[in-house]
Structure 1
Amino acid sequence: MIFPQPKSFRKLLLIGFCFAVLPLLVAVGYAAVYMDQVAKQSQQAVYQAAKATQTSRTLVEILTRLERAGRQYQILGDAALLKSFQENHELFARAADSLLEFQLDKSMHDQLQGLIKIENSVYRTLTRQRYNSPAAKNAVEKFGVASDLARKVLAGSNRVIDTEVQVLHDMAATAQNQFVWVGLTLIPTIIIIVITFSIILSRPIRQIDYAIKTLGSGEFNEPVYVTGPEDLQYLGQRLDWLRMRLAEVEEEKAKFVRHVSHELKTPLTAIREGADLLDDGVVGNLNQRQRQVVEILVSNTSKLQQLIEDLLNFSIAHTKMTKLHNEQVSLDKLVRRVLNDQKLAIMAKKLHLKTKLEPIVVNGDKEMLRVVIDNLMSNAVKYSPANGRLAIAVQQVGLDARVDIIDDGPGISDAEKHRVFDAFFQGEAKATGHIKGTGVGLSIVKEFIQAHGGHIEVTDNQPSGAHLSLRLPLQSYNEEAPIVDEDRLQVF
């Protein structure tokens, strides 16, 4: 069953508050009704007990007057005394009937019935027999037994008070138990309602927070979807519009960089080819000063070409819309290819190269991984001194493929380790090559590695030089691969 969503977050909050308060209101209402019933029953019980006691005392008083009038009539035979006796008999009968209406225990009820029976017997005898007759004398003697029964009835009415007090105590205990059970039921009910509405209220907030974090990280592929009240849904729609707009801007930026890079490469290629022709002496032999000018042209065109390539790679690395062209990539073969490309630079510095390349295959974008290895190797060669040492290792560590590149250069200071992968950051160490870096190479490496689900770091286990280690997740785990002690990795 789908419930209609409220139009605003405020209404949803108000509904949640009402649902949270509703059980409390129900409990208070139940307690008020129950206590009202208890109060009425208590009032009725007190009234009944007091009335029963009062009626019992009235009955005793009437019986006393009845006995006095009966004895006097039996001796004197006065008609006025007989009339008084008859009037008291009627009062006694009404009082006895009134007392029978109360809830009496069996003992008191039997005593009252016995008292009524004796009084009726005496009344019939005195009204039908001649006064001072033996029957009349015997009848008035029964008043002694009647008086004893009347006192017992009065004592029984006092027990009625005790009984009603016990009933009130039982009712109070019952009310207390009822309130305890209501409280035990009320607390978890309110907790469940509060938790439920907390989840309902926090869900759209979490969705909005997740959408903002996703947009902030540059991920524009996932649509923004927000559930809940209509105003928050509208906010989600605006965030989705912002996502699409940012994606368009990102795509336009990438297109602009590609277009500018292409337009720069075309004249640069012509300039570099012309400089190479001049350097080769195609147009004639060059004197010393002319050759110096040509060398400047060749050097700066190479630098400009490197800058353009870095610009392209940097644009690709920071464009989140770029999709990986995944395929099976042999890391050891890729490293050998890069080493072959860097062969002249390594030979020019007379570097001592050592490799440890295990056959490892990962799933990734081959060109991106080539750029990663090439940038790391270029940096290692560039910062290594002449006749220095250079090492590269490819091996499996647990569920990851690990690539380590170690040089014998000035290394990376502790203060720069956390900034070395930032874009356009250039450390204090100076490269020994002719072409100055742009400070984007390691930033490109980090972005490409993270795009493959891996990470790169500067390790601390080298006495000198720099040691950069990157990890890429393996497609499958090779249980036969040797376990590498990460803290004691030595390639030299």
Structure 2
Amino acid sequence: MNGVKLRYPIRYPKSFFKLLAAGFVLAVLPLVAGLLFNMVAIQRLANQSQRAVYEAARIVHATRELSETATALERAAQQGIVLQDSALWDSYLDLHRRFVDTGAKVAALSPSVSIRNDLDALMKTEQEINDSLSAVGAKSTQAREIARRYEEVTFGARDLLARSSAIIDQEVESLRSSAEKTEATLKQQLFMLLPVAFFVVVGFTYLLARPIAQIEQGIRDLGERRLDKRIEVYGPDDLEQLGRQLDWLRLRLVELEEQKSRFLRNVSHDLKTPLTALREGSDLLAEQIAGPLTERQQVIVRILRQHSLDLQRLIEKLLQHGEQEFQQASIKLQPLNPAEIMHRIADKQVLPMAARGIRLNLQVEEFPMRTDAERLRIILDNLISNAVKYSPDGGVVGVSIKRNGSSAAFEVTDEGPGVAAEDRDHIFDPFYRGRTAGSGLVKSSGIGLSITQEHVLALGGKIDVGSGHGQFTVHLPLNTP
């Protein structure tokens, strides 16, 4: 990227929490709007239903009253004429006025033009009958014929009642149609709002996940030591600031890696000079150029020469450790007998143990396994060297190798003070030296146990630290078919 920060056209809020709040509001807003619209539609439908039912009930009640009044009016007219009773005639007149008032009420309530027209005709007919009766008088012979015409009024009023009752059915049908339309509208809104909310959620999920994924990738690159790739985060200001801090950490790790590599190169170079002198001196002694050697002196010279070769390999390993990750080194699995490797290591430890009177107690079982021979040699050599270093003079170093199911258990113990409780969490950290000082001419570097643990983990095993005296137990898979 050459240090140039490319900006994307996406405009982020300054804060991650503001972006989260905006996404929540925009995702909920369509649903809230749909809910409010539905509430208004349902309330409108409810009001319409209430009003329609109320008006229909009033119309039906008024037309029923008109029909009942017409029936009573017919009966009162005929009885008043037949019986010639003034009280019955007065009742007829009251019913007439009531019929007129009820007709006016029906006319005011009825929404149907045809019903109002028929009602007007019915009212005119009734008025003509009443006028005729009033003109001829109740005692006239024509009054009875005129009163029979009230049957037309009664039939007309009943017809109006039936037609008004049909209004309720019409209103119910209208309400059902309105309910179906409202339901269809609600479904349509639902199908429209759900995709909108879905796309809003997906969009803001992308906006939220994008910078988080960039941060996660940056952390993964740091963990996997891919330090050449710049960490860039695009998003809210606080997340971009976090990305800049991660990139600062990457640059710091690059600087530390360079310092470590430089340190390893310098240390390795400084070690090679005395190592060369040691190798040359041991070779001259082994070839007896400086004079003949006794048999015991020849054994000591061979041990010195072997240790100088081991030291050379350790320096080379130290360089490799600085150049590449240890876990990336190839593992060469091969069939072997761990007891044989243990005996070769024990022979190399004869001189330092004899100098301090330390005895080696071997309890080694013979069994085959498939593992990396060089890594296993380094594991056992480091553990035994560590046990010898921390053993008291005249102490005993115990080594136990046994098969335990599908794994091999390697246990190394000494009679030293062991690992202090406050050192147990850091004993395998590189360059960490515990509070207990070991014996020996060479001061501990603090990387032996770190290298040992790396080899154990690379072989798929684990290493445990015992309590009390010095005790380390390594479990490695047999890898046998």
Normalising by the smaller structure, the TM-score range is 0.5 to 0.7
The 5-angstrom pairing of residues 24-35 of structure 1 reads: 24-35=32-43
In the alignment, does 2:409 pair up with 1:402?
yes
Change (3 A) 1:221 1:207: same
- Give 1:472's aligned residue: 476
In the alignment, does 2:332 pair up with 1:324?
no
- What secondary structure sits across from 1:327 in the alignment? coil
In the alignment, does 2:426 pair up with 1:419?
yes
The 5-angstrom pairing of residues 85-484 of structure 1 reads: 120=125, 123=128, 131=136, 134-140=141-147, 203-204=209-210, 207=213, 210-211=216-217, 213-214=219-220, 217=223, 219-220=225-226, 249=255, 252-253=258-259, 255-272=261-278, 309=314, 313=318, 316=321, 320=325, 323-329=328-334, 330=336, 332=338, 333-348=340-355, 349-364=357-372, 366-397=373-404, 400-460=407-467, 465-473=469-477, 475=479
- Alpha-carbon distance in 2 for matches of 1:314, 1:414: 33
* Candidates 14, 20, 30, aligned match of 2:22: 14
Deviations 1:456-475 (A, max 9, x none): 22123xxx631101233554
- Alpha-carbon distance in 1 for matches of 2:108, 2:435: 114
Change (3 A) 1:160 1:327: same
What one-letter code is carried by the residue in structure 2 that aligns with 1:256?
Answer: R
Change (3 A) 1:391 1:64: same
Cα deviation for residue 377 of structure 1 reads 1.0
- Alpha-carbon distance in 1 for matches of 2:422, 2:49: 84
> For this pair of structures, how many residues does the alignment match?
417
Cα deviation for residue 219 of structure 1 reads 3.7
- Give 1:296's aligned residue: none
- What secondary structure sits across from 2:226 in the alignment? coil
Change (3 A) 1:249 1:124: same
What one-letter code is carried by the residue in structure 1 that aligns with 2:469?
Answer: G
Change (3 A) 1:227 1:363: farther
| More displaced 10-residue stretch of structure 1: 231-240 or 255-264 | 231-240
Deviations 1:395-434 (A, max 9, x none): 4445544321112333333343333333444344443423
* Candidates 42, 48, 56, aligned match of 1:40: 48
| More displaced 10-residue stretch of structure 1: 47-56 or 415-424 | 47-56
The 5-angstrom pairing of residues 32-71 of structure 1 reads: 32-50=40-58, 53=61
Instruction: Say if 1:277 and 1:283, in contact at 8 Å, map to a contact too.
Output: no
Where does the alignment leave 5 or more consecutive residues of structure 2 unmatched? 1-7, 85-95, 292-303
Change (3 A) 1:431 1:221: same
Where does the alignment leave 5 or more consecutive residues of structure 1 unmatched? 76-85, 103-108, 285-298, 479-492
What one-letter code is carried by the residue in structure 2 that aligns with 1:342?
Answer: Q
- What secondary structure sits across from 1:42 in the alignment? helix
Deviations 1:188-237 (A, max 9, x none): x89x9799789757644654564465466564389799999698998899
Change (3 A) 1:89 1:54: closer
- What secondary structure sits across from 2:416 in the alignment? coil
TM-score after normalising by structure 1: 0.59
- Alpha-carbon distance in 1 for matches of 2:214, 2:405: 37
Change (3 A) 1:274 1:71: closer
- Give 1:23's aligned residue: 31
Deviations 1:301-352 (A, max 9, x none): x99x979958964982896476222111547144344333323334443513
Instruction: Say if 2:406 and 2:477, in contact at 8 Å, map to a contact too.
Output: yes
- Give 2:298's aligned residue: none
TM-score after normalising by structure 2: 0.60
What one-letter code is carried by the residue in structure 1 that aligns with 2:321?
Answer: I
- Alpha-carbon distance in 2 for matches of 1:202, 1:398: 50
Change (3 A) 1:471 1:242: farther
Cα deviation for residue 378 of structure 1 reads 0.3
Instruction: Say if 1:389 and 1:407, in contact at 8 Å, map to a contact too.
Output: yes
Change (3 A) 1:395 1:239: farther
Instruction: Say if 2:408 and 2:475, in contact at 8 Å, map to a contact too.
Output: yes
Alignment identity in percent? 16
- Alpha-carbon distance in 2 for matches of 1:450, 1:358: 24
- Alpha-carbon distance in 2 for matches of 1:340, 1:201: 65
- What secondary structure sits across from 2:473 in the alignment? strand
